[in-house]
Chains A and B, each alone.
Chain A
Amino acid sequence: MTLLSETVQYAISGITAGSIYAVIGICWSAVYLITKVLNFTTGEFVMLGGMLTWAFHSMGFGLLPSVLFAVTCTIAISMLLERLVIRPIRFPTEMTYMMLTIASASVIKGLVLLQWGSESRRIEPFFGTAVIHVLGAGVTPQVLCVVAMMALITLGLHLFLNHTLFGTALRASAINQTGAKLVGIDIGRFRLFCFGLAGGLGAVTGIVTAPITFTGYEIGLLTGLKGLVAAIAGGWSMTGTVAAALALGLLEGFGAGFVSSGLKDVFALLVMILFLILQTISLPGMRRR
């Protein structure tokens, strides 16, 4: 392999990873902006999507029905989480929210481990295993599928948020909840909707990536965290999140390729910490916030 083809290969895997983080980042910000809950179960929804599809598929259902079942189940779990765990809290603070979602994440993870064991599971690629060659690097149709899904989801969300009444109301309640309530927007329903949205998008991400990276009970936490990194670095906005996620994916792809694949996960987390610290430093001449 030449250096060029290697670079292209790392870039492709970086963009694939970046697309995944972008969608997960959108899941985090959808929930955070409306409910002010930092939902640490986001990563577990990704894991659930993949694992449920695998489970239904191995029970004898076709691929498409199992995908539909898995997404529906994950949305239902996510909405139940909001109704049964987040809403009944008497003294909601950031700390209790975080403890609750971390606890729920570990419950989901443990139950999946108990039910389906600790082996990695694999779903067959949706469009065969043919390899397309670009500049000496190989691209599988599944990778294209992941990138296309990311593009479709962001485009769909963009249209939904900016060109429908429901979407505009959603944006309004993210900006100012009291104001939104005053003009008759039902925040309670939106909270439920956002959790459902996060569950659904997470599940879809988990399903399309399962043929590439495999899925298993333990993948949720780190994958989810990287989505969070993208959301934080992108300033919780959709364009920002997508840009940050792609940059993060590329950094990870090149880091894993040229530096060390074992320390791949460390790069993303270091970026998050550095970014958070940089945000607190106000240099002279910077008059933001």
Chain B
Amino acid sequence: MKSKRPLPVLWILVIVGLAVLPFVTPGTYVIGVMCFVAFYATLACGMAVLLEQAGLFSLAAPTFFGLGAYVAGILAAREILPPWAGIIVAAVVVAAIAYVIGAPLLRLRGYYLACATFGLLFIVEIALAQSGEITGGHDGLIGIPPLSVFGFTLRGDLHYYFVSWGFCLGCLWFFFNLMSSRVGRAVRALHDSEIAASTVSINVARCKLHVFVLTAVMASVAGSLYCFYLQFTTPSMFGFPLLVELFTMIVIGGATTLYGPVLGAVVLIWLREAIHVYLKGILPKLTAEVDAVFFGVLIVAILIFMPEGLAGGLDRLAHFGRRLLGKSA
């Protein structure tokens, strides 16, 4: 289990690189795609913390993402609350839902927790599609205004690029700090053995619930930002295909490190763009289900040939390099 803090140099490099990116790439295409990367990276990161660090096999991330998007979207589209307040209300509502659902569900282990949250994914998707008057049903929720904070309205991909990446890196930084704190060590102890954790007076149930609610809130905020970015949501955006994509990101990046899923998100979204650009002529309809074929093959191949993912490979490379340098010096 590695949660060493990466060098501050690395952080600065990444932040500078991301900040410069919009000004060196022509047009808004790259920026638009990178916005998606940021949203998905945040979501994958939270899910990976649950799966790998805490050992909670929860598949509820797309559900909370969708709920966050829908609550904020509905409040803003019906002009009940301004968008920024909608994000906060959505986060509070999702936190409450996660708390109420999590308390009984997190007693389940392994497969059973996965099955229950998998069921939840479908229940929420069907319920959103069926309650047409409130959510717009299958056709989706339209008329969501752009995000505006204190008179400043975010317009265009560039604004959302900075907001989404700011949020994503903020979450990542938070997780890095959390995981090396007392709470984080307790969470990692859960992954290894719950019984052992409880003997050193870690309140297992409360600890699990807190991590669960925390990642749910992050997913919710990411979802709210996502809906203001697209100004449109449909129930099918938060269903099974999203789950497969998240799995792919986590598997590509490697879940043992915190930054792995972010890496996975970058690779996956650009891969999807490449598929859409280059295979448009060959394949007639490129829906999320068709993308899932490529991602499915990728998951299987990586789990068989490279089970630690990209981040695991990079870590090994860094370790190798350090040893090489240390010997020569």
Q: A107-B293, A114-B293 are in contact. Are A85 and B283 (CB under 8 A)?
A: no
B105 and A85 within 8 A (CB)? no
Q: In the complex, how many angstroms separate the beta carbon of A224 from the nearest chain B beta carbon? A: 11
* B73-81, B257-265, B295-303 - the one binding chain A: B295-303
Kindly report which residue of chain B lies nearest to residue A268, judged by CB atoms: B119
Is residue A96 contacting chain B, with contact meaning CB distance below 8 A? yes
Selected contact of B289 from candidates A85, A109, A279, CB within 8 Å: A109
A125 to B107, CA, bound (A): 46
A99 to B59, CA, bound (A): 11
Instruction: Say whether B123 contacts A103, CB under 8 Å.
Output: no
Chain A nearest Cβ from B245, distance in angstroms: 10
A223 to B126, CA, bound (A): 15
Cβ-based interface call for B112 (8 A): yes
Select B122's contact among A96, A218, A222, beta carbons within 8 Å.
A222
Q: Binary interface profile of A, 221-240, with partner B (CB < 8 Å = 1, else 0)?
A: 11001001100100000000
A127 at the interface (CB under 8 A from B): no
Contacts of B251 in A (CB 8 A): 99
A260–B51 Cα distance when bound, in Å, is 36
Whether the pair A276, B244 counts as a contact (CB closer than 8 A) is no
User: What residue of chain B has the Cβ atom nearest to residue A275's Cβ?
Assistant: B116
Q: Which residue of A lies closest to B103 (CB)?
A: A277
Contact: B123 with A270, CB < 8 Å? yes
Any B CB within 8 A of the CB of A88: yes
Inside 8 A of B119's CB, which chain A residues have their CB? 225, 229, 269-270, 272-273
Q: Is B320 an interface residue (CB 8 A)?
A: no
Does A98 contact B240, Cβ atoms closer than 8 Å?
no
User: Contacts A90-B307, A109-B289 given: A263-B126 contact, CB under 8 Å?
Assistant: yes
Which residue of A is nearest B247, CB measured?
A99
Bitwise interface map of A from 75 to 110 toward B, beta carbon under 8 Å scored 1, else 0: 000000000010011110011101110111111011
Also in contact, A98 and B114, with CB within 8 A (given A103-B244, A269-B122, A273-B105):
yes
Q: A102-B243, A114-B283, A269-B119 are in contact. Are A95 and B57 (CB under 8 A)?
A: yes
Interface of B is mostly: helix
A265 within 8 A of B: yes
The reply to whether B292 and A266 form a contact with Cβ atoms under 8 Å apart is: no
Asked if A95 and B51 make an inter-chain contact with CB atoms under 8 angstroms apart, the answer reads: yes
In the complex, A269→B291 CA distance in Å? Answer: 27
B290: chain A residues within 8 A (beta carbon): 110, 113-114
Judge whether A111 is part of the interface by a CB distance below 8 angstroms. Answer: yes
A106–B295 CB distance below 8 A: yes
**Could you tell me the distance between the alpha carbons of A114 and B294 in the complex, rounded to whole angstroms?**
12
A-B contact count (CB 8 A): 125
Known: A262-B130, A270-B123. A103 touches B108 (CB 8 A): no
Q: Are B105 and A104 in contact (CB under 8 A)?
A: no
Quick one: CB contact mask for B122-144 with A, threshold 8 Å, 1 for yes? 11001100100000000000000
Q: Are B126 and A102 in contact (CB under 8 A)?
A: no
- Which chain B residues (270-325) contact chain A, with CB distance < 8 Å? 283, 285, 287, 289-293, 295-297, 299-300, 303-304, 307
Q: Is B118 an interface residue (CB 8 A)?
A: yes
A229 contact set on B, CB distance < 8 A = 119
Query: In the complex, what residues of B have CB within 8 A of residue A114's CB?
Result: 283, 290, 293
Q: With the chains together, A232 CA to B105 CA distance in Å?
A: 15
Q: Is the CB of A104 within 8 A of B300?
A: yes
Q: Are A99 and B127 in contact (CB under 8 A)?
A: no
Cβ of B296 and Cβ of A110 under 8 Å apart?
yes
What's the Cα separation between A164 and B107 when bound, in Å? Answer: 40
Query: Which chain B residue lies CB-closest to A272?
Result: B119
Given contacts A98-B111, A107-B293, A265-B126, contact A85 B300 (CB under 8 A): yes
Contact of A106 among B107, B116, B126, B296 (CB under 8 A): B296
Flag whether B151 is at the interface (Cβ < 8 A).
no
Asked if B303 contacts A106 (CB within 8 A), the reply is no
Q: Counting chain B CB atoms within 10 Å of each CB, which of A106, A221, A228, A276 scores highest?
A: A106
Whether, in the assembled complex, A169 has its beta carbon less than 8 Å from a beta carbon of chain B, the answer is no
Which of B104, B105, B110, B295 contacts A103 (CB under 8 A)?
B295
User: Does A2 make an interface contact (CB < 8 A)?
Assistant: no
Interface check B197, CB cutoff 8 A: no
Contacts of B122 in A (CB 8 A): 222, 225, 265-266, 269
Report the Cα distance A178→B112, complex, angstroms.
Answer: 24
Q: A94 and B244: CB pair below 8 A? A: no
Is B115 at the interface (CB under 8 A from chain A)?
Answer: yes
Shortest C-beta distance, B192 to chain A (Å), equals 13
Do A106 and B293 have beta carbons less than 8 Å apart?
yes
The smallest C-beta distance from B18 to any residue of chain A, in angstroms, reads 29
Task: Name B91-123 residues within 8 Å CB distance of A.
Answer: 104-105, 107-108, 110-112, 114-116, 118-120, 122-123
A89 touching B244 by the CB < 8 A rule? Answer: no
Roughly how many angstroms separate A263 CA and B285 CA in the complex, as a whole number?
Answer: 29
Q: A95-B57, A118-B285, A276-B116 are in contact. List 7 more A-B contacts (CB 8 A).
A: A38-B114, A107-B300, A218-B289, A262-B130, A272-B115, A276-B108, A280-B104
Taking Cβ atoms with an 8 Å cutoff, the residues of B that contact A are 51, 57, 104-105, 107-108, 110-112, 114-116, 118-120, 122-123, 126-127, 130, 240-241, 243-244, 247-248, 251, 283, 285, 287, 289-293, 295-297, 299-300, 303-304, 307
In the complex, 22 of the A-B residue pairs with CB atoms within 8 angstroms, ordered by the A residue number, are A38-B115, A85-B300, A99-B303, A100-B303, A103-B295, A104-B300, A106-B240, A106-B295, A107-B300, A109-B292, A110-B292, A111-B293, A114-B283, A222-B122, A232-B112, A266-B123, A266-B127, A273-B116, A273-B123, A276-B108, A276-B116, A277-B104
**Nearest 4 Cβ contacts at the A-B interface:** A110-B293, A107-B296, A103-B296, A106-B292
